[in-house]
Structure 1
Amino acid sequence: MATRPPSLPTQMKAQFLDAFNTSYALRSVLLPTLTSAHDILIKVDAASYCHTDAVLGAGKMPPNPPSFPHVGCHEFAGTVVSIPPNFSSPSSFKVGDRVGVPGRAFHPCGACFECSSPEGPDADPPGYSVYCPHSKNNGISTDGGFREYAVVDSRQVAPIPEGMSAVDTAVLMCAGVTIYAALKRCGLIPGQRVGIMGCGGGLGHLGVQFAVAMGFKVTGVDNADAPLKLARSVARGATIVDAREQEASEVAVQVGQEDGKKDRGDMGLDAVIILPESQRAFDYGVGLLRNHGKCIVVSFPEQGFHLSSRDLVFRDISVMGSLVGSNKTLREMLEFATKHNVRASVRTLPLSKLNELVVEYHKGEGGKLVIDMALPDEQS
């Protein structure tokens, strides 16, 4: 099986983690090779930094740590430069196609329960599942996008809509599909109320835009100046709350009165999505809910969250986790983002400046940070 056309270089630059809690190291290595009929080789055009990259780099990513040296990034985008000569299917990609690449799922087994028995209206057809326990995940359990070229599974990627840049696409490959899927999991209809805890973060400010475009009444909550400023800049009619100034109970009563509710248990939001890892954010989010409301948990702090049995039993609050989305959902999200002009606030740096990007990330100023391969190394 041919692995690359002769016009491609034999070496590339990549940023490696050689141990936990260390800086990335830039060095040259051979291009990766195709090993499966489903593989395609892409030239990486943009690679986005995610909170999970920080968690992984600190050695706190469950359940299994990566092997070193490791190339991170599980949300990236690029251009197809090589495909196996025997690769053919109705959804085949060709050289020159632009694709967005999520982390999950690289080489799923195709035969386990998850792959053979997909559940729900957004599941992919039998034979492929992003939840396959035997698959690898780009940027987590196998190498990802912080390199000039990458091998990806053609079943996991999505075509980039015309008019959307690689930088805009990259941030949607995890942050975008994760918050989009979480919003769908809320099970709401237009006109109902949803809250987004951490509305000024990478996922949060995208979630505000998606939720408004879905027709929901949106309440975004954050507790720092820069994220709140970002959230308000993309609010599009959403209500943005500073948690330092208003208690959850006050916000719940306020929206209840706007809806003409008279009973306290009926006042509040129909659903809330928890993005921060703090217990206070979790408690605040649950406090926003009306009785019978739904709490969707996206974050996974190392110590977990404490749940009040009183909320579960006496208020009938339901709690559900949400992790990324199927390839079907990924493609739907991209089309939705294009139609409704959902875009992330991004700052870009070249591949050589990845360690500077990580420093910027830890400042917690919101938005997304992206490696743009088109930027010259000297740009900062």
Structure 2
Amino acid sequence: MPSAIENVPLSTRAAVTRELGIRPEFTSEYPLKRPSDLAPGECIVKVEYTGVCHSDLHLMAGERDIKPGLPSVGGHEGVGRVLAIGMYTPNSAIKVGDRVGVKYAINTCMQCDLCLRGYEQHCISRTISGYDVDGTFTEHMVAFIQHLIPIPDTLSSAAAAPILCAGVTVYNALQQLSIPPGSWLVIPGAGGGLGHLGIQYALCKSLRVIAIDSGDKRDFCLSLGAEKFIDFVESKDVVADVREICDGLGAHAALIVADSNMAYVQAAWYLRPQGTALCIGVTETVTLPMAHIVDMVRSGPELNKRTSLTGLHIGHKISVIEALALAARGKVRCHYVERPIEEISSVLEDMSKGKLIGRAVLKF
């Protein structure tokens, strides 16, 4: 029989999406797979905390080309403990009772070219938590043991949850940069869930950060270590402001986490020649000045522009472990509000209106 540390219930608490565009319905009677029915490699995790991501909001609203099957339980930033492991599961470093993290790519084939080269997050056979299978907005969930992430002892479960997606996404993006310490990095959307973590991971690489956001997020971003702040509402010319800070040449790189066409357009103009735009924020339409980007402008600082655009999406397992390790050492701290799982609908509403500073974490 499967190994288990306690009786696993027949049903569990969960926030269930039954119709796209409608906020999830909370229930305490959502069916759960029995330990005896677990396939090899499957396990049951009792979730303690889960983060809430903008991709959850978009999926449940039906705003993406991909649509989850219904009913569906979203979520992909869960932290909890392993209660049971399927019979005949190969030996694993993860054992019953371990505290673990559940990430976006909850399972992959581990055999294709992408998986073998360390890009398992892009596996064409990947299973996505909260889309292909029920995710972390439930107290008990089925996960795949080879993709669970050990949580460092010195990091709380609530603080660890957002690192499993938001944290590793910006960490993995910044790892793609080959610019020296002291280079300028611009972060549009710096006061949000990804952006505020991006500031801190950038400082770990000794980069100088220009935060772009608005209103009361100024003090927040500066307190995290951003060297300069530009309020895009008050600024008359964001591009000129960035260039002035960066000695007229422009920034070395931009970490674009904002869901905004304008954020991409402005980055194309304020990056210096050979600059890099790390593209994370998802917006349906982006209108870029391609002649400018590929060096068709022949005057002033635009000569030899050749900006690099790098599309990025989450990170692989090692990136998650490294991102968590920095958080465990206190180098990165997620700013979050903690709410009970029953308030998920109001959290999603606050998120959709841009009211959240940092991240939201739901507690079971």
TM-score after normalising by structure 1? 0.86
- Cα distance, 1:161 vs structure 2: 0.8
- Cα distance, 1:341 vs structure 2: 3.3
- What amino acid is the match of 1:83? I
Q: Say if 2:290 is the partner of 1:289.
A: no
Q: How does 1:147-226 map to 2 (within 5 A)?
A: 147-222=138-213, 224-226=214-216
RMSD (CA atoms): 1.9
Give the 3 Å change call, closer, same or farther, for CA 187–39 of structure 1 in structure 2: farther
Q: What is the match of residue 72 of structure 1?
A: 74
Distance (Å, rounded) in 2 between the aligned partners of 1:37 and 1:92: 15
Distance (Å, rounded) in 1 between the aligned partners of 2:317 and 2:139: 24
Give the 3 Å change call, closer, same or farther, for CA 291–12 of structure 1 in structure 2: same
Q: What is the match of residue 45 of structure 2?
A: 42
Say which SS state the counterpart of residue 110 (structure 2) adopts.
coil
Q: Does structure 1 retain, via aligned residues, the 8 Å contact 2:189–2:211?
A: yes
Q: What is the match of residue 302 of structure 2?
A: none
Q: Does structure 2 retain, via aligned residues, the 8 Å contact 1:105–1:131?
A: no
Say which SS state the counterpart of residue 105 (structure 2) adopts.
coil
Say which SS state the counterpart of residue 130 (structure 1) adopts.
helix
Q: Does structure 2 retain, via aligned residues, the 8 Å contact 1:41–1:83?
A: yes
- What amino acid is the match of 1:270? H
Q: Does structure 1 retain, via aligned residues, the 8 Å contact 2:210–2:230?
A: yes
Q: Say if 2:234 is the partner of 1:245.
A: yes
Q: Deviations over 1:136-186 (max 9, x none)?
A: 101122210011111112222211111211111111111000011111122
Distance (Å, rounded) in 1 between the aligned partners of 2:80 and 2:64: 26
Say which SS state the counterpart of residue 325 (structure 2) adopts.
helix
Q: What 5-or-longer segments of structure 2 have no aligned partner?
A: 296-304
Q: What is the match of residue 62 of structure 2?
A: 59
Q: Does structure 2 retain, via aligned residues, the 8 Å contact 1:46–1:166?
A: yes
Give the 3 Å change call, closer, same or farther, for CA 229–53 of structure 1 in structure 2: farther
Distance (Å, rounded) in 2 between the aligned partners of 1:238 and 1:39: 46
Q: Does structure 2 retain, via aligned residues, the 8 Å contact 1:271–1:294?
A: yes
Give the 3 Å change call, closer, same or farther, for CA 215–340 of structure 1 in structure 2: farther
Distance (Å, rounded) in 2 between the aligned partners of 1:239 and 1:337: 23
Q: What is the match of residue 347 of structure 1?
A: 337
Q: Say if 2:286 is the partner of 1:305.
A: yes
Q: What is the match of residue 30 of structure 2?
A: 29
Say which SS state the counterpart of residue 218 (structure 1) adopts.
strand
Say which SS state the counterpart of residue 128 (structure 2) adopts.
coil
Q: What is the match of residue 102 of structure 1?
A: 103
Percent identical pairs in the alignment equals: 27
Distance (Å, rounded) in 2 between the aligned partners of 1:344 and 1:238: 19
Q: Does structure 2 retain, via aligned residues, the 8 Å contact 1:251–1:268?
A: no
Say which SS state the counterpart of residue 254 (structure 2) adopts.
strand
Q: Deviations over 1:237-293 (max 9, x none)?
A: 532221233323333332333xxxxxx5xx111110111121111122223211110
Q: What 5-or-longer segments of structure 1 have no aligned partner?
A: 258-263, 374-380
Deviation larger for 32-41 or 163-172: 32-41
- What amino acid is the match of 1:96? G
Say which SS state the counterpart of residue 46 (structure 1) adopts.
strand
Q: Does structure 1 retain, via aligned residues, the 8 Å contact 2:210–2:226?
A: no
- What amino acid is the match of 1:55? H
Q: Deviations over 1:202-234 (max 9, x none)?
A: 000011011112211111111x31433432332
Say which SS state the counterpart of residue 26 (structure 1) adopts.
strand
Q: What is the match of residue 261 of structure 1?
A: none
Q: Deviations over 1:45-93 (max 9, x none)?
A: 001111001110111223x21100000111111111112343343x521
Distance (Å, rounded) in 1 between the aligned partners of 2:146 and 2:219: 38
Q: Does structure 2 retain, via aligned residues, the 8 Å contact 1:200–1:229?
A: no
Q: Does structure 2 retain, via aligned residues, the 8 Å contact 1:55–1:61?
A: yes
Q: What count of residue pairs does the alignment treat as equivalent? A: 350
Q: How does 1:275-286 map to 2 (within 5 A)?
A: 275-286=257-268
Give the 3 Å change call, closer, same or farther, for CA 49–6 of structure 1 in structure 2: closer
- Cα distance, 1:113 vs structure 2: 3.1
- Cα distance, 1:18 vs structure 2: 0.4
Distance (Å, rounded) in 1 between the aligned partners of 2:314 and 2:286: 20
Give the 3 Å change call, closer, same or farther, for CA 238–162 of structure 1 in structure 2: farther
Distance (Å, rounded) in 1 between the aligned partners of 2:294 and 2:33: 53
- Cα distance, 1:3 vs structure 2: 7.6
Say which SS state the counterpart of residue 165 (structure 2) adopts.
helix
- Cα distance, 1:328 vs structure 2: 0.7
